[in-house]
Every structure is written in structure tokens, then in C-alpha cells.
């Protein structure tokens, strides 16, 4: 397993970023944690539908996306808001989406990020299609897709990896092995010793990294992105991390795991680790951290206010986002729902 930044903040090997970039990414992780904490709180106030926390997975998401170009594709899941935001998907769209508002699924033009996939595994296929299409059109944009350990048991994972391997599609597969798929622990998910080794079966490189280590994730991702971009094909990265919170706000993890596991992983927090590193080099102060936290809170509050200022959608709007021209069946269903005469 690749490790560069140890839990105590010391490093083995080369950091992949300059000091300025490391500090920018630390700030991004602070923003992501602020959004995440707020997401859970808003759901408890009834202002969001279910919310899926990514607490503890910030280094995996921020470190991987930091290696992408702004026009690369990202195809991710309901737990990947930090990654999506890093690639340009606005917080306001993420909040809107969590209220169930379809308008959250339309980021600004030029943001090459698909809406989050709720269907476990299915989105990996879209990432392969996007990357392959870019190559066919002679462009050097690549696609990155994020998914969990549970998704590797889906047929879609096999299809995506196999197709990408055979056709050399420019795709980076980033599995965040957070040890649980709702209540199913990693050891019940697959008999493979690692998820990274599954790459062997598809004839592509696979690498396992410490997913709570910003530098290790980014180092592996930089290499995988470079391979994809120069036409050398896909890579599977397994970022070993942990979901310290519940699966979603509708879940109670005490029913299937011991709290000591969470406590142990909280001691390996990815943000604290970068803080210790920066502090050891005289680059972190409580005042600077307070400034970051304050500006993140302001930014997140503004996004919430903007999302909550949208006019609520009426019931008939659920038919709007499917086709440019609705099918006769959808028109009929809409009429039945809103009581308009059936034309
Ligand atoms: C195809 C499909 N099957 C089942 C579900 C229900 N479901 C939602 S999340 C989840 C677990 C996914 O675990 P994992 O892929 O490890 O990602 P994590 O939630 O841990 O990030 C399941 C089974 C679903 N959304 N889609």
C-alpha cells in the first residue's frame, strides 16, 4: 500500500504538491468538511432528504481530483460531493440535488461532471463511454470515476473494467474502499485480498494506496491520469479509507459494527494529518485555520440560501427532466397526476 504522509504528519518520499498547492488543498478539505457537517445538520432539520456523509474520505476525493484538468470528466456517486465540487460542480447544485430538486442535476455549461449516481456501479460504464468517446474524437480529455467497495460486486464494474481494458479507454477507476457497503463489511464483499488486485484480471495496472493520505492518493492519481492522457489506458486505484459516519442519515451503524472501529479511524483523520505536516513546517496556525473555516462557512451558508430561494417545483415537473419531447405515456401520466384533461 502506497503511503507518503504518515498519521503523525511526517513524510516518506516526495510530496506531489508544492507548499502553496498543499495549503490550497488543505483549505479545500476544510470546505468539504464544512459542507458535509452542514449536510447532516440540514437533513436533521428536515431541509434536505437523506444525506450521505463522506467524513473521513476528504483526502481520497480532494487528492484525486487535484490531478485532473478542469475539462476532464468526473462520474461519481451520492457520497462524492467533495470530488464533484473540486471539479467545478457548485455547492448550490449539490444542495438542490439533496432536496430532490432535479435542477441540482444541471451544473453550469463547461462543468464536465455528471449528476451523482444513486444506482450503485452503473455510472462506471458512463465514464468509460465518455473517455472512449473523447479518444475517438482525437481529444486528450480523460474520465475519472469514483465508486465504493460495494460497487465492485456489481456486474457493471466488470463490464466497465473489461471494456476499458480491451479498448484502452482513458479512464481512472478510483475505488474508495471505506470498509462498508451499508451494513456489509469489506470482508463479506469479496474474497480477494485487495480490490486493487482485481485489475490483474482485466489486464490493467492496479494500485492500493492509503486513502486517508492526501499525498499517496494524489501520487497514484497523477500517474494514472498521465497514463490515460498519453493513450496507455485505464488504471484501478484502491484508496483504503473508512466511512466514520452512518451510511446515510437513515442508517444506524451501531446495529452492525462496534463503535471502537470508528474511534480508531477517527484517529487517522485525513485533515488532521495534513495539519500536522503543515504545522511541523511552520505553515499552519490556528488563526489561518480559523480564517479558512470562517470563509468556508460563509460560502456554504450562501449556497444554502441560494438553493432555498429556488421556487419549489410542482408535482408535474417530475416529468420534465426525462426527454426533450415527452413520450405519449409520460404525457398521459402527467395528466393523471395533475388532473388535466387527457389529450
Ligand atoms: C444497483 C443498486 N443496488 C442497491 C442499491 C442500494 N444501495 C445504496 S448504497 C448501497 C451500498 C453501496 O456501497 P459502496 O459501493 O461500498 O459505497 P458507499 O455507500 O460505501 O460509499 C446500496 C446497496 C442501489 N442504490 N443500487
| Domains, the chain | 19-312 (3.40.50.970), 315-343 (no CATH)
Scan for cell 511552520, then name that residue: 282
Q: Which residue has the cell 409520460?
A: 330
The pLDDT of residue 322:
79
d(Cα 167, Cα 129) in Å, to the nearest integer? Answer: 11
CB-ligand 1 contact for 186 (6 Å cutoff): no
Query: Looking at the annotation, which residues are catalytic?
Result: 243, 247, 256
Quick one: pLDDT at residue 214? 98
With b meaning 16 or more CB within 10 Å and e meaning fewer, what string describes 171-188? Answer: bbbbbbbbbbbeeeebee
Ligand 1 lined by 148 (C-beta under 6 Å): yes
* Top mutation candidate among 77, 157, 181 for ligand 1, by most atoms within 8 Å of CB: 181
| C-alpha cell belonging to residue 124 | 462506471
The reported pTM is: 0.96
pLDDT given at position 343: 46
Alpha helix segments (H runs only) across the chain: 19-44, 58-65, 81-86, 91-98, 123-136, 155-167, 186-189, 214-229, 259-266, 270-280, 286-308, 328-338
Question: Of 239, 240, 236, nearest to 227 (Cα)?
Answer: 236
Q: Could you give the CA distance from residue 211 to residue 222 in angstroms, rounded to a whole number?
A: 14
Compute, in degrees rounded to 10, the torsion defined by CA atoms 190, 194, 198, 200: -150
Backbone angles phi, psi at 311, to 5 degrees: -65, 135
Is ligand 1 within 6 A of the CB of residue 151? yes
pLDDT average per 10 residues of sequence, the chain (343 residues): 98 97 98 98 97 98 98 98 98 96 94 97 98 98 98 98 98 99 98 98 98 98 98 98 98 97 97 98 98 98 98 85 88 86 50
Buried b (16+ CB within 10 A) or exposed e, 258-284: eeeebeebeebbbbebbbbbbeeeeeb
- Cross-strand bridge partners of residue 240: 177, 210
Q: Which three cell numbers mark 275?
A: 495539519
C-alpha cell at 94: 449539490
CA distance 36 to 328: 41
Contact in structure between 9 and 279 (CB atoms under 8 Å): yes
Q: Looking at the DSSP assignment, which residues form a beta bridge with residue 171?
A: 143
Beta-carbon contacts of 22 under 8 Å, excluding residues fewer than 6 positions away, are 15, 214, 274, 277, 278
> CA 274, CA 103: separation in Å to the nearest integer?
35
Binding site membership of 178 for ligand 1 (Cβ less than 6 Å): yes
The pLDDT assigned to 321 comes to: 75
Bridge partner residues of 2 (DSSP): 209
β-strands 206-210, 184-185: how paired?
A: unpaired
Q: Is 243 in the pocket of ligand 1 (CB under 6 A)?
A: yes
pLDDT of residue 340: 62
Name the nearest CA neighbour of 225 among 38, 16, 46: 16
Give the nearest ligand 1 atom to 119 CA: 26
* Any ligand 1 atom below 6 A from CB of 50: no
Distance 172 CA to ligand 1 centre (A): 20
Q: Is 182 in the pocket of ligand 1 (CB under 6 A)?
A: yes
Buried b (16+ CB within 10 A) or exposed e, 18-35: eeeebbebbbbbbbbbbb
CA of 182 to the centre of ligand 1 (A): 7
Which atom of ligand 1 has the smallest separation from the CA of 152? 15
Closest CA to 172 of 231, 210, 221, 232: 221
Please choose from 61, 77, 84, 150 the residue to mutate so as to test ligand 1's pocket, defined by most ligand atoms within 8 A of CB: 150
Q: Which atom of ligand 1 is nearest to the CA of 248?
A: 19
Amino acid at each position: 500500500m502506497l503511503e507518503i504522509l504518515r498519521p503523525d504528519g511526517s513524510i516518506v518520499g516526495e510530496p506531489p504538491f508544492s507548499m502553496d498547492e498543499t495549503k490550497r488543498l488543505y483549505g479545500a478539505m476544510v470546505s468539504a468538511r464544512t459542507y458535509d457537517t452542514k449536510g447532516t445538520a440540514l437533513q436533521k432539520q428536515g431541509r434536505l432528504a437523506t444525506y450521505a456523509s463522506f467524513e473521513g474520505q476528504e483526502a481520497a476525493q480532494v487528492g484525486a481530483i487535484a490531478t485532473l484538468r478542469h475539462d476532464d470528466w468526473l462520474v461519481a456517486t451520492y457520497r462524492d460531493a467533495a470530488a464533484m465540487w473540486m471539479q467545478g460542480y457548485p455547492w448550490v447544485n449539490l444542495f438542490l440535488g439533496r432536496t430532490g430538486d432535479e435542477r441540482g442535476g444541471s451544473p453550469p455549461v463547461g462543468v464536465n461532471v455528471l449528476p451523482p449516481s444513486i444506482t450503485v456501479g452503473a455510472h462506471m460504464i458512463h465514464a468509460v463511454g465518455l473517455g472512449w468517446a473523447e479518444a475517438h474524437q482525437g481529444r486528450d480529455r480523460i474520465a475519472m470515476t469514483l465508486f465504493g467497495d460495494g460497487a465492485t460486486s456489481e456486474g457493471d464494474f466488470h463490464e466497465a473494467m473489461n471494456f476499458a481494458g480491451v479498448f484502452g479507454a482513458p479512464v481512472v477507476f478510483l475505488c474508495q474502499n471505506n470498509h462498508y457497503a451499508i451494513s456489509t463489511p469489506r470482508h463479506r464483499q469479496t474474497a480477494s485480498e485487495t480490490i486493487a488486485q482485481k485489475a490483474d484480471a482485466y489486464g490493467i495496472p492496479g494500485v492500493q494506496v492509503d486513502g486517508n493520505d492526501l499525498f499517496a492518493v494524489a501520487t497514484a492519481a497523477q500517474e494514472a491520469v498521465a497514463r490515460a492522457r498519453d493513450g496507455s489506458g485505464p488504471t484501478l486505484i484502491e484508496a483504503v479509507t473508512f466511512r466514520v459516519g452512518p451510511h446515510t442519515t437513515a442508517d444506524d451503524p451501531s446495529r452492525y459494527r462496534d463503535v471502537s472501529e470508528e474511534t480508531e479511524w477517527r484517529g487517522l483523520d485525513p485533515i488532521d494529518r495534513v495539519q500536522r505536516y503543515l504545522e511541523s513546517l511552520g505553515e499552519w496556525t490556528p488563526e489561518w485555520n480559523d480564517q479558512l473555516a470562517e470563509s468556508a462557512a460563509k460560502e456554504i451558508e450562501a449556497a444554502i440560501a441560494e438553493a432555498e430561494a429556488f421556487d419549489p417545483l410542482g408535482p408535474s415537473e417530475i416529468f420534465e427532466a426525462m426527454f426533450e419531447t415527452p413520450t405519449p405515456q409520460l404525457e398521459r401520466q402527467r395528466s393523471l397526476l395533475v388532473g388535466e384533461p387527457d389529450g
